[in-house]
């Protein structure tokens, strides 16, 4: 069923409702209308990295980990699996007439906000700091969720529109001020791509104001840009209780009915919250028209028809045995394997268990389920921690000693004990071991959403890049033993790794790797596969080089605008092999020709990068070929080259192959101070390699990307 047909059916049904009934359907917990045989429907469901908050489901790596894969095809496969489980659960619940929260088919994912500041606690829900990478992965995820059948498999939602990335403590009252250039160059492109290319069915507004207007009541964002400029036809939903903030926190209205009127008149169709209970009062006061209420209801019922909730679909046959099935668990492990980023390796990795007698596994995240899952997660039937994965992998061949070493952030693990009560145990374990796997980091209690976490810092945000003091003391204690150390950092954001970089043999950034994370880490550590992830965010040396957290200008932020050298740069990640770009050239091709490494709906230029790549090692690897562009004669370009194409490649031992990546039209465009996007200048320089062309990446990898010039 196409949208035109679905809307006609929605109109026919909505026109049979009274005004009161239409108004009642604009809440996330829409009640049944029995006289029309309409069941209740709860719009609130989550699927950030698996079906969340409704019991058993496959738990994939957190979104930031999936971003580190730089793998569009994988993201679409993961989303398709998530949608399958969502349908399976919905079918089972609906058969029992269970219409509760987290049991519908409208999933509020993905989060395509830009991770502009490493302090933001929700950054691990995103695809990182780059608008191009975020757009490409977001498009893939939406396509995987919604499918391409006659009926929409599930409905995806682009959130949080727009200009939203902390501080969490201020989000209900904060006004994010962003220039027109930053809006069009950084904050809006991913949302535009999800609307225009992926046909995302829902868009969720943010809590904050943007340039003075509450996002869920912004005529500029919702009506002018989203609907009129981009041609969006889906429904718009508020973040939860965000409309209440209009009169309680933003103070742009006085009464709830005024807030409800402001939101719905701007184009917000669905209220996650209770303020739309005042819609009829707003109507009686002349603040809202009947036509506006009716249009919102029609948009919402159009979505329900597109999902086949009234006419049925082939998806109704998906059975509950698809939930956390073996194929999905294998996919979760594959995603975890691709997400791990090798930041340092002096040759200690991969390990050979034949040469080991005893392994020490130390740290508060070594056997932590919470460190596997991030936030907005489902419930796995099995959580394979790093400790589990290693012990299963080595079996009886290697002795494993363990110690928690310290609490995640408190100064002791037992309330009646002395401070640092487990440090001595950690020292003993390390001294008895041939090698130490030190598992540190955070979990959703230390970085997460305001109000949704027991955060010990600031409403979900981090106060610094440092690990908690308890873990820093553990790092020093383990180092003092002189034993080889492999650090497994489990966190969803930038952590200061200066101490580990200086003193440890290897560093793996594992993010929150999902329910199968331990299996993935074991295979990487022991060389079954090579690590292949790349950083989707910059790891900074200090926070001092960044603007204030509340400053939304992009100057000084992210790899495109930063002024100092990164500790570990965006796009960086090592493998066990040694891949090189031997040569690269730009070739012309038919504009309409699709490229397997580029979304078919992405607007392509007539140019392609053709690169010869070679794995000079005897270790089979996967790598991410990256292309960055600098507009050499435009004053409007970003200070540093920006990502414009990427693709995963597989290289066997000593294998050489040719790879082609299509260059999108956006690679040639700039954005001026008024927010206008256009082609400016004629001289372009492309950098083709396995990292950025910055000095730090070159120093870390020992390889310089190949430069290719183009004059239009």
**DSSP code string of 502-519:** HH-SEEEE--S--TTHHH
**Residue ending a domain, choose from 303, 319, 353:** 303
Q: Assess if residue 265 is contained within a domain.
A: yes
Q: Is the pTM of this model over 0.85?
A: yes
Claim to verify: residue 402 and residue 472 sit in the same structural domain? yes
What is the C-alpha to C-alpha distance for residues 19 and 64, in angstroms, rounded to an integer?
44
- CATH label of the domain that carries residue 298: 3.20.20.300
Claim to verify: residue 337 and residue 433 sit in the same structural domain? yes
Q: What is the dihedral of CA 449, 452, 457, 460, to 10 degrees?
A: 0
Best CA proximity match to 407, nearest among 422, 391, 426, 427: 422
What is the C-alpha to C-alpha distance for residues 236 and 265, in angstroms, rounded to an integer?
12
What is the C-alpha to C-alpha distance for residues 85 and 642, in angstroms, rounded to an integer?
37
Q: Do 137 and 73 form a contact (C-beta atoms < 8 A)?
A: no
Instruction: Give the per-residue pLDDT at 591.
Output: 54
Residue-wise pLDDT tens digits, 192-232? 999 999 999 999 999 999 999 999 999 999 999 999 999 99
Q: Assess if residue 76 is contained within a domain.
A: no
What is the C-alpha to C-alpha distance for residues 439 and 443, in angstroms, rounded to an integer?
12
Q: Assess if residue 661 is contained within a domain.
A: yes
Residue-wise pLDDT tens digits, 416-462? 999 999 999 999 999 999 999 999 999 999 999 976 554 445 578 99
Cβ-based neighbours of 554, under 8 Å, separated by 6 or more: 116, 182, 185, 186, 560, 561
What is the C-alpha to C-alpha distance for residues 578 and 623, in angstroms, rounded to an integer?
10
What is the C-alpha to C-alpha distance for residues 327 and 337, in angstroms, rounded to an integer?
15
Whether the pLDDT of residue 594 is over 50: the answer is: no
CA atoms within 13 A on the CB side of 600: 3
State the residue for tokens 């965006």.
570
Catalytic one among 117, 239, 245, 407? 239
Instruction: Give the per-residue pLDDT at 455.
Output: 46
> Bridge-partner residues for 23, per DSSP?
none
What is the C-alpha to C-alpha distance for residues 418 and 327, in angstroms, rounded to an integer?
47
Pairing relationship of beta strands 175-176 and 669-671 according to DSSP bridges? unpaired
Residue-wise pLDDT tens digits, 140-197? 999 999 999 999 999 999 999 999 999 999 999 999 999 999 999 999 999 999 999 9
Claim to verify: residue 265 and residue 383 sit in the same structural domain? no
Pairing relationship of beta strands 506-509 and 656-664 according to DSSP bridges? unpaired
- CATH label of the domain that carries residue 593: 2.60.40.10
Q: What is the 3-state secondary structure (H, E, C) of 199-237?
A: CCCEEEECCCEECCEEHHHCHHHHHHHHHHHCCCCCEEE
What is the C-alpha to C-alpha distance for residues 128 and 116, in angstroms, rounded to an integer?
8
Claim to verify: residue 257 and residue 368 sit in the same structural domain? no
> Bridge-partner residues for 518, per DSSP?
none
Q: What percent of the chain has pLDDT over 90?
A: 96
Residue-wise pLDDT tens digits, 493-511? 999 999 999 999 999 999 9
Q: Do 129 and 115 form a contact (C-beta atoms < 8 A)?
A: yes
Q: Assess if residue 132 is contained within a domain.
A: no
Instruction: Give the per-residue pLDDT at 498.
Output: 98
What is the C-alpha to C-alpha distance for residues 343 and 667, in angstroms, rounded to an integer?
28
Q: Assess if residue 343 is contained within a domain.
A: yes
693 phi, psi to nearest 5 deg = -90, 15
Q: Do 321 and 87 form a contact (C-beta atoms < 8 A)?
A: no
Is residue 239 among the annotated active site residues?
yes
C-alpha pair distances (Å), 176 with each of 166, 179, 209, 217? 9, 10, 6, 15
What is the C-alpha to C-alpha distance for residues 152 and 2, in angstroms, rounded to an integer?
10
Q: What percent of the chain has pLDDT over 70?
A: 97
Q: What is the dihedral of CA 385, 388, 391, 394, to 10 degrees?
A: -70
Claim to verify: residue 336 and residue 298 sit in the same structural domain? no
Claim to verify: residue 590 and residue 632 sit in the same structural domain? yes
Residue-wise pLDDT tens digits, 513-558? 999 999 999 999 999 999 999 999 999 999 999 999 999 999 999 9
Q: What does the DSSP assignment read for 522-566? A: HHHHTTSS------SS-B-S-GGGSPPTT----TT-HHHH--S--
Q: Assess if residue 203 is contained within a domain.
A: yes
What is the C-alpha to C-alpha distance for residues 448 and 177, in angstroms, rounded to an integer?
23
Residues in the chain: 712
Claim to verify: residue 556 and residue 647 sit in the same structural domain? no
Best CA proximity match to 687, nearest among 517, 571, 603: 571
Q: Assess if residue 353 is contained within a domain.
A: yes
Provide the 10 A C-beta neighbour count for residue 680: 17
Q: Please, what's the largest Cα pairwise distance for the chain?
A: 79
Q: Do 129 and 116 form a contact (C-beta atoms < 8 A)?
A: yes
Residue-wise pLDDT tens digits, 106-144? 999 999 999 999 999 999 999 999 999 999 999 999 999
- In this prediction, residues 583-590 reach a mean pLDDT of 91
Best CA proximity match to 37, nearest among 20, 13, 19, 10: 13
Best CA proximity match to 602, nearest among 154, 132, 200, 76: 132
Which tokens hold the place of 486?
């492999």
Provide the 10 A C-beta neighbour count for residue 154: 28
Whether the pLDDT of residue 104 is over 80: the answer is: yes
Of 303-317, 435-449, 596-610, give the lowest mean pLDDT range. Answer: 596-610
What is the C-alpha to C-alpha distance for residues 324 and 82, in angstroms, rounded to an integer?
9
3-class secondary structure, 91:
helix
Q: Assess if residue 572 is contained within a domain.
A: no
How much is the mean pLDDT over the chain? 96
In degrees, rounded to 5, the angle at the alpha carbon of residue 552 between the alpha carbons of residues 551 and 556 is: 80
**Residue ending a domain, choose from 561, 591, 621:** 561
* DSSP alpha helix (H) spans, 406-511: 423-431, 469-480, 498-503
Claim to verify: residue 358 and residue 477 sit in the same structural domain? yes
Claim to verify: residue 515 and residue 479 sit in the same structural domain? yes
Claim to verify: residue 272 and residue 357 sit in the same structural domain? no
Claim to verify: residue 548 and residue 628 sit in the same structural domain? no
326-339 vs 517-525: helix crossing angle, rounded to 10: 50
Range of the domain at 693: 579-711
What is the C-alpha to C-alpha distance for residues 416 and 290, in angstroms, rounded to an integer?
64
What is the C-alpha to C-alpha distance for residues 55 and 85, in angstroms, rounded to an integer?
11
Whether the pLDDT of residue 595 is over 60: the answer is: no
- In this prediction, residues 252-257 reach a mean pLDDT of 98
Claim to verify: residue 540 and residue 591 sit in the same structural domain? no
What is the C-alpha to C-alpha distance for residues 654 and 211, in angstroms, rounded to an integer?
54
3-class secondary structure, 707:
strand
Q: How many domains does the chain have?
A: 3
Instruction: Give the per-residue pLDDT at 589.
Output: 80
- CATH label of the domain that carries residue 378: 3.40.50.1700
What is the C-alpha to C-alpha distance for residues 581 and 657, in angstroms, rounded to an integer?
10
């Amino acid at each position: 069923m196409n949208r035109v047909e679905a809307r006609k059916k929605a109109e026919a049904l909505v026109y049979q409702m009274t005004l009161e009934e239409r108004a009642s359907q604009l809440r996330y917990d829409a009640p049944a209308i029995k006289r029309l045989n309409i069941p209740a429907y709860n719009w609130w469901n989550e699927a950030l990295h698996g079906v969340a908050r409704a019991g058993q489901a496959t738990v994939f790596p957190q979104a930031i980990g999936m971003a580190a894969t730089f793998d569009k095809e994988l993201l679409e496969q993961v989303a398709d699996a998530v949608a399958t489980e969502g349908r399976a659960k919905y079918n089972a619940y609906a058969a029992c007439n269970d219409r509760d929260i987290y049991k519908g088919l409208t999933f509020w994912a993905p989060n395509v906000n830009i991770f502009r500041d490493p302090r933001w606690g929700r950054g691990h829900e995103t695809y990182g700091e780059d608008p191009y990478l975020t757009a490409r992965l977001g498009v893939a995820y939406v396509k995987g969720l919604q499918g391409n059948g006659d009926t929409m498999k599930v409905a995806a939602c682009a959130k949080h529109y727009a200009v939203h990335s902390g501080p969490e403590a201020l989000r209900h009252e904060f006004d994010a001020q962003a220039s027109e250039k930053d809006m069009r160059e950084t904050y809006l492109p991913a949302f535009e791509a999800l609307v225009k290319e992926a046909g995302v069915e829902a868009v969720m507004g943010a809590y904050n104001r943007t340039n003075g207007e509450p996002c869920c009541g912004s005529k500029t964002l919702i009506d002018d840009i989203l609907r009129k400029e981009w041609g969006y036809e889906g429904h718009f939903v508020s973040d939860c209780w965000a409309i209440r903030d209009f009169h309680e926190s933003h103070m742009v209205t006085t009464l709830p009915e005024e807030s409800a009127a402001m939101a719905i008149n701007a184009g917000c169709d669905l209220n996650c919250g209770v303020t739309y209970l005042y819609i009829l009062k707003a109507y009686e006061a002349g603040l809202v028209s009947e036509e506006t209420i009716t249009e919102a209801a029609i948009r919402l019922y159009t979505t329900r028809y597109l999902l086949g909730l009234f006419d049925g679909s082939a998806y109704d046959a998906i059975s509950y045995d698809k939930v956390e099935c073996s194929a999905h668990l294998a996919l979760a492990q594959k995603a975890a394997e691709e997400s791990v980023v090798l930041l340092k390796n002096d040759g200690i990795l991969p390990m050979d268990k034949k040469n080991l007698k005893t392994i020490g596994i130390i740290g508060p995240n070594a056997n932590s389920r919470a460190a596997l899952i991030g936030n907005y997660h489902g419930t796995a039937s099995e959580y394979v921690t790093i400790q589990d994965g290693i012990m299963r992998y080595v079996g009886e061949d290697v002795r494993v000693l363990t110690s928690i070493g310290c609490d995640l952030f408190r100064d002791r693990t037992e309330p009646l004990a002395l401070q640092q009560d487990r440090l001595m145990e950690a020292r003993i374990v390390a001294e008895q071991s041939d090698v130490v796997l030190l598992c540190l980091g955070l979990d959703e209690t230390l970085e997460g959403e305001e109000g949704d976490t027991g955060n010990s810092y600031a409403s979900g945000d981090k106060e610094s890049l440092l690990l908690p003091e308890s873990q820093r003391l553990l790092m020093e204690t383990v180092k003092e033993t002189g034993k080889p150390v492999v650090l497994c950092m489990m966190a969803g954001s930038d952590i200061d790794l200066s101490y580990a970089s200086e003193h440890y043999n290897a560093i793996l950034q594992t993010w929150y790797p999902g329910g199968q994370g331990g299996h993935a880490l074991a295979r990487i550590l022991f060389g079954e596969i090579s690590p292949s992830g790349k950083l989707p965010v910059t790891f900074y040396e200090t926070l001092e080089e960044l603007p204030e957290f509340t400053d939304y200008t992009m100057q000084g932020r992210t790899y495109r605008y930063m002024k100092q050298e990164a500790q570990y740069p965006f796009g960086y990640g090592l493998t066990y092999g040694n891949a090189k770009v031997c040569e690269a050239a730009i070739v012309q091709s038919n504009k309409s020709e699709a490229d397997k490494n580029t979304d078919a709906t992405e607007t392509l230029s007539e140019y392609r990068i053709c690169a010869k790549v070679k794995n000079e090692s005897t270790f089979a690897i996967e790598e991410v070929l990256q292309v960055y562009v600098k507009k050499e004669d435009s004053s409007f370009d970003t200070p540093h080259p920006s990502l414009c194409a990427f693709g995963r490649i597989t290289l066997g031992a000593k294998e050489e192959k040719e790879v082609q990546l299509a260059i999108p039209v956006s690679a040639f465009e700039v954005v001026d101070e008024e927010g206008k996007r256009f082609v400016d200048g004629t001289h372009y320089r492309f950098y083709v390699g396995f990292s950025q062309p910055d000095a730090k990446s070159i120093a870390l990898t020992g390889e310089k990307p190949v430069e290719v010039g183009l004059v239009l």
